[in-house]
Amino acid sequence: MTRTAAATAAYDTDGGTFSFPAGKTLRLESGASLGGLQIAYQTYGTLNDTRSNAILVCHALTGDQHAASTHPVTGKPGWWNRVIGPGLPLDPERYFIICTNVVGGCMGSTGPSSVDPKTGEVYGLTFPVITIADMVRAQAMLIEALGIETLLAVVGGSMGGMQVLQWAADYPEKLFSAVCIAAAARHSAQNIAFHEVGRQAIMADPDWRGGAYEKAGVRPEKGLAVARMAAHITYLSEPALQRKFGRELQRDGLSWGFDADFQVESYLRHQGTSFVDRFDANSYLYITRALDYFDLAAQHDGVLAQAFRKARGVRFCVLSFSSDWLYSTAESRDIVRALNAAGCRASFAEIETDKGHDAFFLDEPQLDRTLRGFFASTAQARGLA
């Protein structure tokens, strides 16, 4: 286990890359297994003596372990700096917060851009297809290696929320609480459709080279940028786009051409081109596939409540955003209904906002208040107050 200390945080930050013991493989849902597994992670705060204050934060599709530390590639603040920090709902002075890069990712955890120990070459498309359950199994192995028996909470938004649900299904005995934000128990046809557009955009790029672009010394940047642009529209609500950009122009007057005339075009192009600097195209294929394959009920004879039947001891909090059309409130309600049917304790709130799916990253005071209240009462119930 190597460790690197981050210099910029005002609180205790640690992390590094956890290498699985030699001979220990990650058994995958596909039937394949991964050897030589590495999981990159970051921690904020200190584990207490009773090891009872650990919170696992799960990231979304294009996120990574830098939830509350400066991103080493972009130099930007952590993606959940608004929630994790002194005085914030997830306070590193109280909790030991862990965030791992998912298996299949590209920020240090084993993924398609890693070297296959069997061949000595970059995996590319020879990397096995992974699932949300595989991501969670790797996290559970890391948590065990860190000496943590029970997590005070597992929390995440979007794909992070799906990991939370999978944790509750697969490791309920290791959870004291679970917070699922802006997620769904399965990917809908529309969700799959948008991901398929992104994948086709990447695979249409001749620099993708059937996934073997690293070997060729190129990157399918144009295709990946288009994929990001299409996905990004789904992260924002129509009213938010209208409020933020409307039909505002970049310059005085139209160009009467194909330059970015409208501010929303320029914004989207920027989202695309900046994304390719920090993300790997094959990771995008694998992680979107993991999301599309996600269907928690299907893993339990088609009955979602069955997934939670052993999770009666877990305190659940389910949150949705009123203007989220990627994973709508209706899908959060389905989760809550299943939790209730399974006899689990679940609190639910739909947060009124026009910011759409991405609201969980953004300035959303009601989200902050809800998380603060939930974590405070959870800590108290756990005897940490």
Catalytic residue among 59, 66, 195, 357: 357
CA distance 325 to 327: 6
End-to-end CA distance of the chain: 32
Which residue is catalytic, options 52, 69, 114, 158?
A: 158
Q: Return all residues near 301 (Cβ < 8 A) that are at least 6 apart.
A: none
- Catalytically annotated residue among 64, 91, 324, 332: 324
Site string for a second copy, 100-119 (x = CB under 8 A): --------------------
**Residues in 340-379 that interact with a second copy by CB under 8 A:** none
Binding residues for a second copy restricted to 283-312, rule: CB under 8 A: 285, 289, 292-293, 295, 298
- 195 as an active site residue: the answer is no
Q: Which of 222, 315, 355, 357 binds a second copy (CB under 8 A)?
A: 222
Of 5 and 216, CB closest to a second copy: 216
Interface positions, 120-179, toward a second copy (CB under 8 A): 125, 128-129
Residue 137 vs 222, nearer CB to a second copy: 222
Rounded CA separation 359/356 (Å): 6
Helix/strand/coil (H, E, C) string of 48-103?
CCCCCCEEEEECCCCCCCCCCCCCCCCCCCCCCCCCECCCCCECCCCCEEEEECCC
Tell me, residue by residue from 190 to 219, as one string, x for binding to a second copy by CB under 8 A and - for no binding. x-xxx-xx-xxx-xxxx-------------
Residue 228 assigned ligand-binding role: yes
Q: What is the closest distance, in whole angstroms, from the C-beta atom of residue 273 to a second copy in the complex?
A: 10
Distance between CA atoms of 15 and 30, rounded to whole angstroms?
Answer: 29
Rounded to the nearest angstrom, the gap between the alpha carbon of residue 115 and the centroid of all alpha carbons in its chain is 23
Q: Return all residues near 53 (Cβ < 8 A) that are at least 6 apart.
A: 45, 47, 94, 95, 96, 152, 379, 384
Task: Count residues near a second copy (CB under 8 A).
Answer: 55
Closest contact distance (angstroms) between CB of 77 and a second copy is: 26
Among 217, 247, 301, 365, binds a second copy (CB under 8 A): 247
Tell me what percent of the chain is helix, strand and coil, each rounded to the nearest 5: 40, 15, 45
Q: Which is nearer to a second copy, 133 or 379 (CB)?
A: 133
Site for a second copy contains 11 (CB under 8 A): no
| Two structure tokens written together for 77 | 């603040």
Determine the distance from the C-alpha atom of residue 83 to the mean position of all C-alpha atoms in its chain, rounded to a whole number: 15
Q: Cβ of residue 75: shortest distance to a second copy, in angstroms?
A: 26
Per the annotation, does 199 bind a ligand?
Answer: no
Closer residue to a second copy (CB): 91 or 292 = 292
User: What is the C-alpha to C-alpha distance for residues 350 and 367, in angstroms, rounded to an integer?
Assistant: 9
Q: Are strands 54-58 and 96-100 parallel, antiparallel or unpaired?
A: parallel
Give the x-and-dash track for 259-288 against a second copy (CB under 8 A).
Answer: -xxx-xx--xx--x------------x---
Compute the least distance from the CB of residue 201 to a second copy, in Å.
5
**Residue 270: active-site member:** no
User: Of the candidates 23, 56, 39, 22, which has an alpha carbon nearest to the alpha carbon of residue 148?
Assistant: 56
Pick between residue 88 and residue 241 the one whose CB is nearest to a second copy. 241
HSE-CB of 166 using CA atoms within 13 angstroms = 28
User: What is d(CA 85, CA 95) in angstroms, rounded to the nearest whole number?
Assistant: 10
CA angle (218, 202, 264) in 5-degree steps: 110
Q: Is 324 a catalytic residue?
A: yes
Residue numbers of the site for a second copy (CB under 8 A)? Answer: 30, 32, 125, 128-129, 186-190, 192-194, 196-197, 199-201, 203-206, 222-223, 225-226, 229-230, 233, 238, 241-242, 244-247, 254, 256-258, 260-262, 264-265, 268-269, 272, 285, 289, 292-293, 295, 298, 325
Instruction: Give the active site residues.
Output: 158, 324, 357
**Residues of the binding site for substrate:** 228, 358
